[in-house]
Structure 1
Amino acid sequence: MNGDVDAICFDLDETLCTYSQPGADVLDRAFDRAGVARLWVLEDYHDLYGDYLAESTDVEDLRRRCFADLAVEAGHDRETGRAVADEFAAVRDQDAVDLLPGAREAVEALSDRYRLGLVTNGAPGMQRTKLEAIGLADAFETAVYAGYDTPPKPAPEPFSAALDALGSTPDRAVHVGNSLSSDVAGARAAGLRSVWVPHEGRIPETPDPTPDHTFETVAALATPPW
């Protein structure tokens, strides 16, 4: 990495953290925590997901609406479904999220040299809960919750908002993420250099769009220059 870089932005999901439990297991735990027998399976939720997109304010609102209707179909009241949805969110974003190996070391090492920001697609409350769960709540000078604060990645606006807060410019910044379609494409659209860290090291021969740098793990970022 050239010495003219003064800011680095990170994606969150599958770049710094990952869900450690399958969704079906999370749902089973949610039913247990809510004190309710299993009334539906995860596939029922997935089948209905699209029906709630237009009327929901975020994924947590969508889940509460959907689970409420599923509870009614199972012969229970809507509040039962909402209670299960709330427990699902608590388990998913607090107990079932893990820091990826080397992520903390990379963030800490880079924070000594650069101003750091977070640019993540996702609801602010949900993403903040994940940051707290993995111990990175105070690691970034600014956080942009794309899709809520700005249009979602790969739009350039979330990157521009982060750089404005960091006092940097696209030609002096890098974005790190796992997604070619949102992170690499979005960084390119905003004029930043991109670092691609494919989840679980899956690297195609010809990634499209082409990132400026590719690493098999986020841990490799801890030892610049690169």
Structure 2
Amino acid sequence: MNPNFIYFDLDDTLLDHWGAEKAALNDLYNEFDVFSSTTPEELIETYHRINKGLWDKYGKGRIDRDTLQRLRFEETLAALRLDSSLYEETGDYYIQAYRNHWEWKKGAAEALETISNNFDVGILTNGFAETQKLKIEQFALSEIAEHLVISEETGFLKPQPEIFEHATSLTNNKPEEILYIGDSYTSDVIGGRAYGWKVAWYTDEEEIEKGRESDADFVFDNFKDLTDMLNVGK
């Protein structure tokens, strides 16, 4: 595989979003007495389930950003039979706590540096613009990435083809000359392949359902395998 341009997903590919989310929810649990009748595990599971459903609705245009941000804690509190009027306080606290726990995925920083020394690279990510820009700034990704594509700024969410079309146009390459590296089967693998991109799927082997591995051009769970595949491994 010898692409002309490589895009990276951000959350749970380069940066550990899921780890930061869990840590922030644990902080939230310890900060607010309202959660004393439940457990951290129940809070994490409930929030994750509700937030995922709301992002699906947001991606389909059924709710707007403000509604998503309100409902993810209002509905979480209600589902746990707690005081849902605390949605604003808990939501604001969570956002601040989440920002304190951002970290690279294991091996991602080294792989990105190595790959960017050999290929033109960019970032293509779903998410709210100000949050993703803070991550990009904190990890100095704008110094490495030639193009930064954030869903909220384009008006489209992965896996919608319009966001891949926009990202492709920035590179002056054909779709088949672009490689996308991401963790989400739906957003990254299906979305990228549907637009004609090559896709390297970053995932744990046990998470791959039968037959899905053939939907990606390359599947890996260790960034050294990725750099070796691109013939840039040390």
Q: Calculate the TM-score normalised by the size of structure 2.
A: 0.73
**2:143 counterpart of 1:138:** yes
1:170 and 2:184 matched: no
2:64 to 35, 57, 60: 57
Can you give the 5+ residue segments of structure 1 that lack an aligned partner in the other structure? none
Distance across 2 between alignment mates of 1:199 and 1:184: 14
Q: In the TM superposition, what is the alpha-carbon distance from 1:127 to its structure 2 partner?
A: 2.3
Maintained 8 Å contact 2:213/2:219: no
Q: Is the 8 A contact 2:129 2:152 kept in 1?
A: no
Residues 157-183 of structure 1: CA distance to partner in whole angstroms, max 9, x if unpaired?
222211222232213211111222221
Q: How many aligned residue pairs are there?
A: 216
Aligned partner letter, 1:20: G
Percent identity at matched positions?
27
Counterpart of 1:98, as a letter, is E
- Distance change in 2, residues 1:38/1:115 (3 Å): same
Q: Residue type of the partner of 2:178?
A: A
Q: Give the 3 Å change call, closer, same or farther, for CA 168–46 of structure 1 in structure 2.
A: closer
Q: 1:115 touches 1:166 (CA, 8 Å); kept in 2?
A: no
Structure 2 vs 1, CA of residues 133 and 32 (structure 1 numbering), >3 Å: closer, same or farther?
Answer: farther
SS of corresponding position for 1:119: strand
More helix by share: 2
Q: How far apart, CA to CA, are the structure 2 residues paired with 1:207 and 1:221?
A: 18
The 1:180/1:67 distance shift into structure 2, 3 A limit, reads closer
Partner of 1:27: 25
Q: CA deviation at 1:200?
A: 6.5
The change in CA–CA distance for 1:210 and 1:28 in structure 2 (over 3 A counts) is: closer
Secondary structure at the aligned position of 1:113 is classed as coil
SS in 2 for 1:163: helix
Partner residue in 1 for 2:33: 37
Q: Cα–Cα, structure 1 residues 158 and 99, in superposed 2: closer, same or farther, change >3 Å?
A: same
Q: Which amino acid aligns with 1:37?
A: D
CA-atom RMSD, angstroms?
3.5
1:89 is aligned to 2:95: yes
Q: Residue 104 of structure 1 aligns with which residue?
A: 109
Alpha-carbon contact 1:14-1:178 (below 8 Å) kept: yes
| In 2, Cα distance between equivalents of 1:202 and 1:47 | 17
Any conservation in 2 of the 1:155–1:189 contact (CA below 8 Å)? no
Contact 1:181 1:209 (8 Å CA) reproduced? no
- Change over 3 Å in CA distance of 1:85–1:186 after alignment to 2: same
* TM-score, with length taken from structure 1: 0.75
Q: Identify unmatched segments of 5+ residues in structure 2.
A: none
Change (3 A) 1:38 1:130: farther
Q: Verify the 8 A CA contact 1:118 1:142 in the aligned structure 2.
A: yes
- Measure the CA separation in 1 of the matches of 2:19 and 2:49: 23
